[in-house]
Amino acid sequence: MDLTIKDVAALLNLSKSTVDEWVAQGTIPCYRIGDQYRFSRIEIEDWVLRKQSGELSANGFGEADIHGTGSRQFSLYRAIHKGGVLHKVPGKEKEEVIRNAMKTIAKDLKFDPDVLTEMLIDRERLQPTALGHGIGLPHTRDSFVNALHDRVVVAFPEHPLQDYGALDGEPVTTLFFLFACDDKKHLHLLAKIAHFSNLATTLELLERKPNKVALLDYVKEWEGQVGKVLSAGKTK
């Protein structure tokens, strides 16, 4: 789906002038039709995933935009709470693990597991969703969950996935399956998970394959600390 500058600004929770500036600087992928700029939704999504916290801040897309305040502050905590954690998902290849995970996840979403698997694999064929450092973030092209809550299911495959397509060449050992209620929340959670999974303390925790309680405790503390920092910055 092609997006306008106004669409991109709304999805990323930014001002139109910020996106205009990025276009002028050539820091955001876009193309021109006549005198108007257009954006590929998939390219914007991949751009958000590629940009880790330091790069995002350098381009004007900072902590406040990733994390937000109020209802957004604990968005990842709520999504994992609704989604859950899976251990020892069988399979030695990406598609096999995704298919096996969907046998459990699709029940909660009240969705056909085979259809959901194909939606996820279709997105992987466009561009692998590996973030690096052993993290994968499988998701569909568009949000589709007809529910009140976003869901993130953290899954630990039984075997490292050697051929996931990560740019750093590392095997993927943790998957964050994302199912969002709308496109704006979808991109917000993509950016948040990308930032979250780039932290050394997060990677150390994920290596231990924590249960749901331990993971949620860590996520809640992390989101809470980020919120305090952002609030303190606003009061200065």
Q: What is the C-alpha separation between 196 and 74, in angstroms, rounded?
A: 13
Report yes or no on 62 lying in a domain: no
> Are both 15 and 75 inside the same structural domain?
no
Among residues 115, 113, 109, 111, the alpha carbon closest in space to that of 100 is found at 113
Q: What is the C-alpha separation between 138 and 123, in angstroms, rounded?
A: 8
pLDDT of residue 227: 56
> Are both 78 and 195 inside the same structural domain?
yes
Report yes or no on 59 lying in a domain: no
Higher per-residue confidence, 56 vs 138? 138
> Are both 20 and 125 inside the same structural domain?
no
Over residues 204-219, the pLDDT tens digits come to 999 999 999 999 999 9
> Are both 182 and 106 inside the same structural domain?
yes
pLDDT level of residue 229 (50, 70, 90 thresholds):
very low
Report yes or no on 60 lying in a domain: no
> CA 13 → CA 6, 83, 139, 170, 183, distances in Å?
10, 24, 20, 32, 12
Average pLDDT, the chain: 85
Q: What is the CATH number of the domain that holds 198?
A: 3.40.930.10
- How many domains, the chain? 2
Over residues 86-129, the pLDDT tens digits come to 999 999 999 999 999 999 999 988 899 999 999 999 999 988 99
> Are both 32 and 81 inside the same structural domain?
no
> Are both 130 and 187 inside the same structural domain?
yes
> Are both 136 and 77 inside the same structural domain?
yes
pLDDT of residue 235: 45
pLDDT level of residue 175 (50, 70, 90 thresholds):
very high
> Are both 228 and 119 inside the same structural domain?
yes
Range of the domain at 24: 2-50
> Which pTM value belongs to this model?
0.82
